[in-house]
Amino acid sequence: MSESCTKSNCEGCSKSCGSRKAEQKPQVTGNDRVKKVIAVVSGKGGVGKSLVTSMLAAKSQANGLSTAILDADITGPSIPRAFGVRQMAEVDDSDEMLIPSTCSNGIKLMSMNLLMAEETDPVIWRGPIIAGTVKEFWEKVSWGDVDCMFVDCPPGTGDVPLTVFQSMRIDGIVIVTTPQDLVSMIVGKAVSMARMMNVPILGLVENMSYFVCPDCGKEHDIFGHSHVKETAEDFDIAVSARLPMDPHVAELVDSGRITEVDTSALDEIYKAIIEA
């Protein structure tokens, strides 16, 4: 105990002396047993990040890995609905840690909608508060043993994606885009951010890439010709995938049955994730 400290013990003492340092224990956070973290990102909204996140998580769980999703899209959380989870998350009274909800196939979920009395209630918060909530989802949730966690990021390169990159142990990212002509610019923003943060880019997914006519069986480019292969080459991304527009997929997601969606189109992306 230092000479300037007159306390007989450290309780109530504000001094940062040797005795206090000796008594401090390493901080235990909810993510200590999460082995791998993959962020799903995009440079713009409405491209299907939540769909890709959910499909990759379903594929991971189906392949025998303990899987979790951290829904970092605080103001637009859709992950619980896709998995048919509506019960609110609970708090462990012993340590005041949040307990993630679990969907029918065992995937652990934490989303803002699991903390709201009504899933339609808006979250009207400023950026720093939203970013702080995402950090708490990472540190203050009892995730337990997780082989692979997927983080559904909000669009762009602002506060929340930056918090994800700086606060979490990100092992790689998957970028989601669509076939429009401005795709190269949008992907470029996400690529630049990832490389500035020294995070590996594991794959590029082009969602709504085509539509298969149920009558003739031909593929139709509703939003224009696919640019995913050229874009992947331009940015030196080794793996890419295309997802079709499929009304059946939309039906499954709307009814909370995302785990029934065919995920085979993401096989190569998933392989890159496992090898990361």
* Confidence category of residue 20, pLDDT binned at 50, 70, 90: very low
**pLDDT, tens digit, for every residue of 231-272?**
999 999 999 999 999 999 999 999 999 999 999 999 999 999
Q: pLDDT averaged over the chain?
A: 88
Give mean pLDDT, residues 16-41.
Answer: 70
Work out the average pLDDT over 52-79: 96
pLDDT at 2: 45
Task: Give the confidence band of 10 by pLDDT, cuts at 50, 70, 90.
Answer: low
Q: How confident is the model at residue 96 (pLDDT cuts 50, 70, 90)?
A: confident
Please, is 111 exposed, middle or buried when counting C-beta atoms within 10 Å of its C-beta (0-12, 13-18, 19+)? buried
Question: Could you give the percent of the chain with pLDDT greater than 70?
Answer: 89
**Mean pLDDT, to the nearest integer, of 71-96?**
90
Query: Is pLDDT above 90 for 19?
Result: no
Q: Which CATH superfamily is domain 32-275 in?
A: P-loop containing nucleotide triphosphate hydrolases (3.40.50.300)
- What is residue 23's predicted lDDT score, i.e. its pLDDT? 46
Is the Cβ–Cβ distance between 128 and 95 less than 8 Å?
Answer: no
Which of helix, strand or coil describes residue 59?
Answer: helix
CA distances from 158 to 112, 131, 163, 192, 196 (A): 19, 10, 9, 13, 14
Whether 202 contacts 269, CB under 8 Å? yes
